[in-house]
Amino acid sequence: MKKAIIFDMDGTLFQTNFILEPALEATFDVLRKKSLWQGVTPLEHYREIMGVSLPVVWQTLCPMHDEFTQQESNVLFQHQLIELIRQGKGALYPNVEATLAKLAEHYPLYIASNGQTEYLQAIVETYKLERYIQGVYSIDMINSGHKSDLVKRVLEDNDIKRGAVVGDRLSDIRAAHDNGLVSIAVRFDFAQEAELQQADMVIDDLQQLVTLSIAFDN
């Protein structure tokens, strides 16, 4: 029976914190210049909703804007993020590469993220994650915008029957449970304790995955 491990990207493998603030600031600077925003950049508000799809992000941050303006803001934001990644301003979390290398010896590894395709590809290429990851799945690939459906797509495409989803937010935990997988939550930057309590397991360091993988081997 084929088993796999499916990873979230932001706040799980990639330290989005490092590029989030400058990318958001640059985006809202443009909005301020166009008189489409007043006041400070809603960085903390964004942190609170990390893990939701990008259309929902802009609907939440800028509910007063029309759909076109929200889409334009997202395009600008994505461009800023990708530029910062390419410039080496981001970083993987500690022990990501060593952990992925070890796990890849025993399981196929995949990424299922609410990030957009070009953004995810920039991270994968910059840090050469294709050495370990067999497939990268973006929320762009499904119509519903739900992480559970995205994980289902990973399972169906690759004939996966068992395994785990590793992530930092409730959407990752629910995606695991909705698909009959083990949910492993990481207590990193964007994690919220109330959400972590719903996971099957919680870790503070990705290296713990090497031993925890036994949980879905049995």
- Residue 6: per-residue pLDDT: 98
Q: Please report the DSSP string for the chain in residue order.
A: --EEEEE--BTTTB-THHHHHHHHHHHHHHHHHTTS--SS--HHHHHHHBTB-HHHHHHHH-TTS-HHHHHHHHHHHHHHHHHHHHTT---BPTTHHHHHHHHTTTS-EEEEESS-HHHHHHHHHHTTGGGTEEEEEEGGG-SS--HHHHHHHHHHHHT--EEEEEESSHHHHHHHHHTT-EEEEE-STT--HHHHTTSSEEESSGGGHHHHGGGGT-
The string of pLDDT tens digits covering residues 28-54 is 999 999 999 999 999 888 888 876 777
Residue 110 main-chain phi, psi, to 5 deg: -135, 160
* Percentage of the chain modeled with pLDDT above 70: 96
pLDDT at 217: 64
Q: Which residues have a Cβ under 8 Å from the Cβ of 102 and sit 6 or more positions away?
A: 210
- Residue 124 backbone zone (phi > 0: left; psi -120 to 50: alpha; other: beta): alpha
- What confidence score (pLDDT) does residue 57 get? 87
pLDDT of residue 32: 94
Contact 91, 11 (CB under 8 A): no
Q: With bands split at pLDDT 50, 70 and 90, how would you rate the model's confidence at 98? A: very high
Does the pLDDT of residue 81 top 70, yes or no? Answer: yes
pTM over 0.95: no
Q: How far is CA 203 from CA 14, 15, 52, 135, 210, in A?
A: 16, 16, 22, 24, 11
Nearest to 13 by CA among 98, 79, 139, 73: 98
